[in-house]
């Protein structure tokens, strides 16, 4: 049995960012992962421009002005945003200017309107600017043409989309989304629209995993429920590994008589790299690779074990495969509001919520039973508190390591 850290490292070593890319328009780029470095041949700002509605002046002219005896300047032009200034500001002159408008030659500083008083063709500057260049957005001070603007491997969210638009990057190369096959195994399983008979269990894992995969931007391929029948399982697995980058099955990975997955993976040429992990919930995690590059996760059937395995291990695998540079899970150290307990045998993950209490992050354990079959109290959680192997108690008020950013 591997430790959680060992299992993480084995999994990550097997996963290389995919090479397949596609072109998308800027409109369709949200949520995608950039597969090329982006630069622009434009400086940003594109040219010196005004940050205020006011007057473009020569600093020399106004630096000693004061409200009692203000300097007055002759207004020689009006420059709204979008208009190219035609006149050069000479000593004693100014131009009326608006936010975003190009600075006229000869001027170097903007006086905001509130610090002036218009007197017909002239304007009195009541307050001197604190420094030369005040309220001027200088060309190239945010970004210099030719430098890298955005690096390959980042996810495109609103800020990056804004940058791409401004760089006129209207068509982008992004990583194509990996396909992830998902199926549930077990004779006891029924679909949610079927009538529950004695002894049966409604398949929740397939839905949970489909949502989980979609939340990571990969393409889920749900294949339904497969009975505990070695022939059916073999056929399903064979098809899945030949058509998907990653396969996720739930159930059938423990030591029971109907737990067939590991044996079948071996028969089909899979290399079993992990058979179990010292994690609770989620111990019987099976991880295998196939000669065609397909990655297989045999995930424990208990619904909480299934999702915890996904969050702890599958998440980073999908992210890395998808081309994301930042694929590692995120951990925080926060105070726990509840006492957390373990029998010390495995690294224990307890589900709950990170909440902001008086401006500080704190962990609150989900109420109700912490049992790997109890998916009910998973709802509404957003974090997993971790009790290291060998430790039995973390008292309320103490600090605990929490895995966060779960795509719940
Ligand atoms: N003798 C031992 N028994 C078990 C061990 C062990 O070490 N020795 N490990 C336990 C642990 S830990 C886990 S976790 C489970 C894992 O079991 P499997 O992955 O083999 O899964 P199944 O046996 O098929 O099912 C377990 C449980 O989960 C329910 N289940 C399965 N699939 C679904 C689904 N799609 N949706 C909802 N619920 C599902 C299933 O009905 C069972 O109740 O093994 C322990 N046993
Ligand atoms: O580790 Mo199992 O995953 O307790 O239910
Ligand atoms: Mg079993």
ipTM for the whole complex: 0.97
Rounded to the nearest angstrom, the distance between the alpha carbon of 252 and the centre of ligand 1 is 7
Tell me: do 185 and 286 sit in the same domain.
yes
Separation between Cα atoms, residue 385 and residue 399, nearest integer Å: 10
Return the number of other C-beta atoms located less than 10 Å from residue 170's C-beta.
11
Tell me: do 131 and 225 sit in the same domain.
no
Instruction: Please name every residue paired with 401 in a beta bridge, in sequence order, or none if there are none.
Output: 333, 386
Tell me: do 166 and 183 sit in the same domain.
no
Q: Which atom of ligand 1 is nearest to the CA of 254?
A: 20
**What DSSP character marks residue 2?**
B
| Tens of each residue's pLDDT in the chain, 408 residues | 999 999 999 999 999 998 899 999 999 999 999 999 999 999 999 999 999 999 999 999 999 999 999 999 999 999 999 999 999 999 999 999 999 999 999 999 999 999 999 999 999 999 999 999 999 999 999 999 999 999 999 999 999 999 999 999 999 999 999 999 999 999 999 999 999 999 999 999 999 999 999 999 999 999 999 999 999 999 999 999 999 999 999 999 988 888 899 999 999 999 999 999 999 999 999 999 999 999 999 999 999 999 999 999 999 999 999 999 999 999 999 999 999 999 999 999 999 999 998 888 999 999 999 999 999 999 999 999 999 999 999 999 999 999 986 543
CATH assignment at residue 354 = 2.40.340.10
- Among 286, 301, 322, the domain-final residue is 322
Tell me: do 226 and 123 sit in the same domain.
no
Testing ligand 1's pocket by substitution, the residue of 301, 304, 306 carrying the most ligand atoms inside 8 A of its CB is 301
What value does the CA radius of gyration of the chain take, rounded to a whole number of Å? Answer: 31
CATH assignment at residue 65 = 2.170.190.11
Phi, psi of 403 (to 5 degrees): -90, 130
Number of structural domains in the chain: 4
Tell me: do 97 and 203 sit in the same domain.
no
Reported residue count of the chain is: 408
CATH assignment at residue 34 = 3.90.105.10
pLDDT for 115: 98
| Cβ(305) – ligand 2 distance below 6 Å | yes
Tell me: do 169 and 181 sit in the same domain.
no
Tell me: do 99 and 153 sit in the same domain.
no
User: Residues 184-239: pLDDT tens digits?
Assistant: 999 999 999 999 999 999 999 999 999 999 999 999 999 999 999 999 999 999 99
Q: Which atom of ligand 1 is nearest to the CA of 299?
A: 19
- Among 282, 301, 322, the domain-final residue is 322
| Cβ(281) – ligand 2 distance below 6 Å | yes
- Among 304, 322, 340, the domain-final residue is 322
Range of the structural domain that residue 294 is part of = 4-19+177-322
Rounded to the nearest angstrom, the distance between the alpha carbon of 188 and the centre of ligand 2 is 18
Q: Which atom of ligand 2 is nearest to the CA of 346?
A: 1
Tell me: do 215 and 82 sit in the same domain.
no
**What DSSP character marks residue 213?**
H
The pTM is what? 0.92
Tell me: do 53 and 80 sit in the same domain.
yes
Tell me: do 169 and 35 sit in the same domain.
yes
Tell me: do 13 and 34 sit in the same domain.
no
Separation between Cα atoms, residue 404 and residue 352, nearest integer Å: 10
pLDDT for 142: 96
Tell me: do 206 and 123 sit in the same domain.
no
For residue 186, the ligand closest to its alpha carbon is 1
């Amino acid at each position: 049995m591997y430790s959680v850290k060992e299992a993480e490292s084995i999994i990550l070593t097997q996963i290389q960012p995919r090479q397949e890319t596609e072109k998308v328009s800027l409109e369709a780029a949200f949520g995608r992962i950039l597969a090329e470095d982006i630069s622009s041949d434009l400086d940003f700002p594109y040219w010196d421009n005004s940050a205020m509605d006011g007057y473009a002046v020569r600093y020399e002219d106004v630096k000693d002005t004061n409200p009692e005896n203000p300097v007055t300047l002759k207004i020689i032009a009006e420059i709204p945003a979008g208009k190219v200034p035609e006149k050069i500001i000479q000593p004693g002159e100014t131009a009326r200017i608006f936010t975003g408008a190009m600075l006229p030659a000869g001027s170097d500083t903007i006086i905001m309107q509130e610090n002036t008083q218009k007197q017909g063709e002239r304007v009195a500057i009541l307050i001197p600017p604190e420094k030369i260049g005040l309220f001027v957005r200088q060309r190239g001070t945010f970004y210099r043409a030719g430098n890298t603007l955005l690096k390959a491997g980042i996810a495109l969210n609103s800020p990056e989309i804004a940058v791409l638009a401004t760089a006129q990057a209207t068509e982008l190369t992004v990583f194509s989304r990996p396909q992830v096959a998902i199926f549930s195994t077990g004779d006891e399983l029924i679909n949610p629209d079927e009538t529950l008979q004695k002894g049966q269990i409604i398949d929740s894992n397939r839905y949970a995993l489909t949502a989980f995969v979609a939340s990571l931007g990969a393409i889920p391929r749900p294949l339904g429920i497969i009975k505990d029948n070695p022939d059916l399982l073999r056929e399903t697995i064979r098809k899945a590994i030949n058509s998907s980058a990653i396969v996720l099955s739930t159930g059938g990975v423990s030591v029971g008589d109907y737990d067939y997955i590991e044996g079948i993976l071996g028969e089909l040429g899979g290399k079993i790299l992990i058979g179990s992990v010292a994690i609770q919930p989620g111990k019987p995690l099976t991880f295998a690779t196939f000669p065609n590059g397909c990655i297989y996760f045999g995930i424990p059937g208990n619904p909480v074990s299934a999702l915890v395995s996904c969050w702890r291990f599958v998440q980073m695998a999908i992210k890395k495969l998808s081309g994301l540079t930042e694929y590692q899970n995120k951990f925080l150290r926060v105070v726990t509001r509840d006492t957390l307990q373990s029998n010390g045998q495995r690294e224990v993950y307890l589900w709950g919520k990170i909440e902001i209490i008086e401006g500080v992050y704190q962990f609150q354990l989900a109420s109700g039973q912490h049992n790997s079959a109890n998916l009910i109290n998973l709802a509404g959680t957003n974090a997993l508190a971790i009790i290291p192997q060998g430790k039995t108690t973390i008292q309320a008020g103490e600090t605990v390591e929490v895995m966060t950013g779960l795509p719940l």
